[in-house]
Amino acid sequence: MRLIEEFQHRDKVFDFMMPNTSPALDVGQGYLLYLEDISVSFDGFKAINKLNLYINEGELRCIIGPNGAGKTTMMDIITGKTRPDEGSAWFGQKINLLEMSEPEIAQAGIGRKFQKPTVFEQQTVFANLELAMTGPKGVFTTLMAKLSSSQLDHIDHVLGQIGLKQQRNLLAGALSHGQKQWLEIGMLLMQNPKLLLVDEPVAGMTHQEMDRTGELLTSLAGEHTVILVEHDMDFVRSLANQVTVLHQGSVLAEGTMDQVQSDDKVVQVYLGE
């Protein structure tokens, strides 16, 4: 019964774990994600205000900003959870995100990892990856199904990517906090997403786990496009990639970490300490 309850609790997760059947993306202009003049208000509060954001194919982009800057709302818009009042949002040159549902957006190749890891704690690491790969099939059918050699190879490859090969037969509930974060990233990788949205992955991690997480995200860039929302400035700096600063729902500054930290506007609203 406990297993059944856990899967019932996670039913909604499978909406975002559907096989990737997206059409080939046209990224001839280099942009995988294109947001322009996006605005959305909640009860009169403008959470996003004429936001323009352009993310290149294969890029690792860090998004920073104070609380209330619009970071979570931005990700909600990209994944279809929130509909903007105005603006354009394109995935590649052919996929209009504003015309799609949340499951359709996930199926098109956008995966999102929330801050708190949500894994099947009563299942092994291997089974978590297997369930993520198979999508919204029946739970017990999935667990009894025989995997093909290519599917086994895919799971083994992802286990190597996330550094959990030795833990493949360990229950997910026995993993450390950092390992659970990596496992959830692995569950997204099982869907072969083009774009990964990762929300504050190093919160609560040890320094060693933070270093490993940085290595993992860096290794994923290129084959995947990664948007990282993070508050830990030392971690962002260690990735040494393009940084976008949000403030009051708009882009305040963009550039390297050194460039944005020396920007007077950024210093005033966010990094002044």
pLDDT band for position 155 (50/70/90)?
Answer: very high
The model's pLDDT over 188-231, given as tens digits with 9 standing for 90+, comes to 999 999 999 999 999 889 999 999 999 999 999 999 999 999 98
Distance separating alpha carbons of residues 31 and 272, to the nearest angstrom: 32
pLDDT at position 21 over 60:
no
Quick one: angle between helices 149-162 and 125-134, nearest 10? 120
* CA–CA distances in Å: residue 198 to residues 27, 56, 111, 122, 155: 22, 16, 9, 24, 21
4 φ/ψ sector (left φ>0, alpha ψ -120 to 50, else beta): alpha
Structure tokens at 166: 């030795």
DSSP 14-28: GGG-----PPPP--T
Distance separating alpha carbons of residues 35 and 49, to the nearest angstrom: 12
Tell me 124's DSSP state: B
pLDDT band for position 143 (50/70/90)?
Answer: low
Q: Quick check: 115 and 203 in contact, CB under 8 A?
A: yes
Among 245, 244, 186, CA closest to 220: 186
- Residue spans of the domains in the chain: they are 2-269
Question: Residue 178: what residue type?
Answer: G
Residues 74-89 have a mean pLDDT of 96
- Residue 251: CB atoms within 10 Å: 18
Residues 174-198 have a mean pLDDT of 95
User: Could you say which of 3.30.390.10, 3.30.420.40, 3.40.50.300, 1.10.645.10 is the CATH number of the domain covering 2-269?
Assistant: 3.40.50.300
Among 81, 95, 99, CA closest to 40: 81
pLDDT at position 22 is 40
Residues 170-177 have a mean pLDDT of 96
pLDDT at position 139 is 52
Which stretch of 14-28, 93-107, 241-255 has the lowest confidence by average pLDDT? Answer: 14-28
pLDDT at position 166 over 90:
yes
Which residues in 25-39 are b (16+ Cβ under 10 Å) and which e? bebeeebbbbbeebb
Quick one: angle between helices 125-134 and 177-189, nearest 10? 30
Percent of the chain topping pLDDT 70? 83
